[in-house]
Amino acid sequence: MKRNWIVGAAAGAIVLGAAQVQAQQSVFMPIVIEVSGNGAVSGTNFRDGALMAIDEINAKGGILKRKINAPVSDTQSNPGVSRAQVQKAIDGDPYVILGPVFSGSVKVNMVLAQQAEIPQMTGAEAAEITQMGNDYIFRTSFGQQMSMPKMAIFVANSLKAKTVAFLWVNNDYGKGGRDVFFKEMAARNIKIVADVSTESGQVDFAADIVKLKAANADVIFIYTNEEECARVLREARKQGVKTPIIGETNVISQKVIELAGDTANGVKGHVGLTADAPIPAVLEFRDKFQKRFKYLPDHNGIKGYTAVYAVKQATERLGKFDRKALAKSLHGMTITPAQEPGILIETTWDAKGDIDRISFLVEVVDGKQKVVEIVPKLGK
Amino acid sequence: MLLWQTSQTINFAQGEFVMLPAFFVLAAMKFGGLSFPLALLVGLVVALLVLGLLFKRMVVDPILRHGVLPLVISTLGLAILMKEGVKEFYAAEAQSFPGMWPATNFSFGGAVISAQSLVIIAVAIAAVALLQYFLGGTRTGRQMQATAQNPMLARVLGIPVERMILYTFLVNAALVALASFLVSPIYLAKFTNGELLGLAAFVAAIVGGFNQVRGAIVGGVLLGVIDNFVAAYWSSQYRAAIPLFLLIAVILWRPQGLLGRAEERTV
């Protein structure tokens, strides 16, 4: 009996030891993301981009010889669920948390990561996320305070519009973008002639398009999530809208083009990231992604991919796994493709965790994004 | 409504019944490599089998004998199963669904109307007319009506009641498939579509009259018009609330619905 007890204890110790060795050999980077719900399009792109980067890094031996362990948990595009998932991730003592994308979710869960002093690489774009004094939140794309001024310059200088009809989604992302854009328009003396609020997950946009048409603006600006963008474009075609349609990132994304079909043709806008950017590294990423996941990535795919490589590069510069040091070093860090090819485009994080890099003015032509102009980094 | 009249079946998965046939079509195209028209046909046949025959045999028949409430709860569960099934086995994201008509527009005195909208209106009117003719102008339809009004007496008169009820389920399946094929090109095919459609259908049926086909049609049109007028000319934020106010008003002051008949039941 006593012998059995000793054998059992020894076996337990071996199992525990093996688990510990396994834990030491890997670095825990959970992906908390929108796999279902209204944010599924954005979330699955981000997830797949991140998983592709993780597999590439692991195939080459990992970060500082430790493989990345990145389980995926679904926020269901629900802020409450996202908070619970981030708490669960924190209980596993992660090095970094990847995601989510929805601003409303990030606003409620980033506090948990901040309290636990865990860097969080988010795909969210709402302006206020990096303005709340959180040293552990890092964007993977432009915040609205960076993208909307670029959009305003496009509206004023390139399109020479005097009036804008604005359709936005009534969530943190939409409200944040609306507020920044309206301020930019006021500064340029451009009049907002229609301010149309819509709901996340809305399917019927007939009445909203009636309002936009009636406003008789120089341009119509669509600022909502991907699926809703596609429905808006389809409805606009149904109602014979002739006014030029513009947007920031989502309305000209690959997923919207795929869902909206030829109704997306002619839409113009500014995009912080695009898989069709005329940059060899980005095009190579796009082809690899499409080959593996059988669909074209959008900007969220690039966000997930570059987030992992940013963590890799910053950690290798530190030479150790230290969460606090990682967060500190990422502030003000610039990573170039020469230093880390996986970053794809030269990227700089400022003191608040906001990102600066080149961006693109695009037009949808024959069902594809066509880059018509490269907008330089704001810091250059 | 048809199901309620013939078999006392309240189907809270009706919205998901409209969501699902679009995915049958997409699956036939994606995995079977079929052309769109052929996939539509396959979608219709699968809908008849799954949402008509199997639904009746595997869900309604075994559960209805225990009362209406267990069936209501079962259909609520079925709705969740269908949603999660599509999410798990097809996609959580919205899917593009081909239109049955080219995206051309016509202009009438300054108003633009798309060919797609005209086709939807035409198909809806034709479907209702055909259904009315079938129910009132054919022997089988009249037998179905007799079954709906008094199944016991219908059985005494030699009407095959079970078969008539099955026909009702098949007609329901065909109608939801048709609705799915018409609405998915506009709303996109997504596993959550049933939530909105199911709620709208129930509100429309209750407002118009649960025991009258024309009541449900009037309820649907009324709600659609009110919803869009409120959103376009008053407030898009309150658009979802107005139909519910109408529903409350109807339940309070005319519980049988605007065109419905008051019915007495022994309890």
Mutation target vs A (from B93, B96, B108; most A CBs, 10 A cutoff): B93
Give the pLDDT score at B39: 96
ipTM, two decimals: 0.79
Residues of B in contact with A204 (CB under 8 A): 187, 227-228
pLDDT reading at A347 higher than 70: yes
What pLDDT band is residue A164 in, cutting at 50, 70 and 90?
very high
* pTM passes above 0.90: no
What is the spatial distance between Cα B160 and Cα B165, in angstroms, rounded to a whole number? 9
pLDDT reading at B209 higher than 90: no
- Residue spans per domain, chain B: 2-100+112-190, 192-267
What is the spatial distance between Cα A33 and Cα A99, in angstroms, rounded to a whole number? 5
DSSP H/E element including A370: strand A368-375
Once rounded to an integer, what is the mean pLDDT over residues A140-144? Answer: 90
Once rounded to an integer, what is the mean pLDDT over residues A306-332? Answer: 97
Q: What percentage of residues in chain A have a pLDDT greater than 70? A: 93
Tell me the nearest-neighbour CA distance from B30 into chain A, angstroms.
Answer: 12
Question: Options 3.40.50.2300, 3.50.50.60, 3.30.70.20, 3.40.50.300; which CATH number does A145-271+360-375 get?
Answer: 3.40.50.2300
Lowest mean pLDDT among A2-11, A103-112, A167-176, A239-248: A2-11
Give the pLDDT score at B108: 81
Give the pLDDT score at A379: 65
- Whether residues A40 and B112 touch (CB distance < 8 A) is answered with no
What pLDDT band is residue B60 in, cutting at 50, 70 and 90?
confident
Alpha helices per DSSP H over chain A: 2-25, 40-59, 79-91, 103-115, 144-153, 172-187, 206-215, 226-238, 254-260, 280-293, 299-318, 323-330
What pLDDT band is residue B97 in, cutting at 50, 70 and 90?
very high
DSSP state letter for A251:
G
- Whether residues A238 and B96 touch (CB distance < 8 A) is answered with no
Residues of B in contact with A236 (CB under 8 A): none
Give the pLDDT score at A254: 84
Query: Measured between CB atoms, which of B95, B114, B240 is closest to A238?
Result: B114
Topology of domain A11-142+278-349 in CATH is Rossmann fold (3.40.50)
Query: Measured between CB atoms, which of B192, B196, B231 is closest to A208?
Result: B231
- Whether residues A197 and B193 touch (CB distance < 8 A) is answered with no
Query: For residues B257 and B38, which has the higher predicted lDDT (pLDDT)?
Result: B38
Nearest CA in chain B to A40: B93
Tell me the nearest-neighbour CA distance from A291 into chain B, angstroms.
Answer: 17
pLDDT reading at A5 higher than 90: no
Give the pLDDT score at B82: 96
Give the pLDDT score at A279: 93
What pLDDT band is residue A17 in, cutting at 50, 70 and 90?
low
A-contacting residues in B 85-124 (Cβ below 8 Å): 87, 92-96, 103, 105, 107, 112, 114, 116-117
- Whether residues A44 and B196 touch (CB distance < 8 A) is answered with no
Query: Measured between CB atoms, which of B94, B117, B230 is closest to A259?
Result: B94
DSSP state letter for A262:
G
Which of A260, A261, A249, A259 is CA-nearest to residue A224? Answer: A249
Give the pLDDT score at B264: 66
What tens digit of pLDDT does each residue of A191-220 get?
Answer: 999 999 998 889 889 999 999 999 999 999
Tell me the nearest-neighbour CA distance from B78 into chain A, angstroms.
Answer: 19
What tens digit of pLDDT does each residue of A289-313 get?
Answer: 999 999 989 899 999 999 999 999 9
Residues of B in contact with A170 (CB under 8 A): 237
Neighbours of B266 (CB within 10 A): 3
Tokens of A350: 């400022």
Tokens of A340: 């880390």
What pLDDT band is residue B74 in, cutting at 50, 70 and 90?
very high
- For A191, half-sphere exposure in the C-beta direction (CA atoms, 13 angstrom radius) is 8
Q: What is the mean pLDDT of chain B?
A: 88
- Whether residues B114 and A231 touch (CB distance < 8 A) is answered with no
- Residue spans per domain, chain A: 11-142+278-349, 145-271+360-375
**Amino acid identity at A261:** G
What are the angstrom distances between the C-alpha of B89 and each of A225, A285, A343, B18, B86?
Answer: 24, 27, 33, 18, 5
**Amino acid identity at A298:** D
What tens digit of pLDDT does each residue of A59-106 get?
Answer: 999 999 999 999 999 999 999 999 999 999 999 999 999 999 999 999
Nearest CA in chain B to A195: B236
What pLDDT band is residue A8 in, cutting at 50, 70 and 90?
low
Give the pLDDT score at A2: 53
Neighbours of A347 (CB within 10 A): 24
Tell me the nearest-neighbour CA distance from A318 into chain B, angstroms.
Answer: 39
Q: What percentage of residues in chain A have a pLDDT greater than 90? A: 75
Query: Measured between CB atoms, which of B96, B103, B116 is closest to A259?
Result: B96
A-contacting residues in B 35-74 (Cβ below 8 Å): none
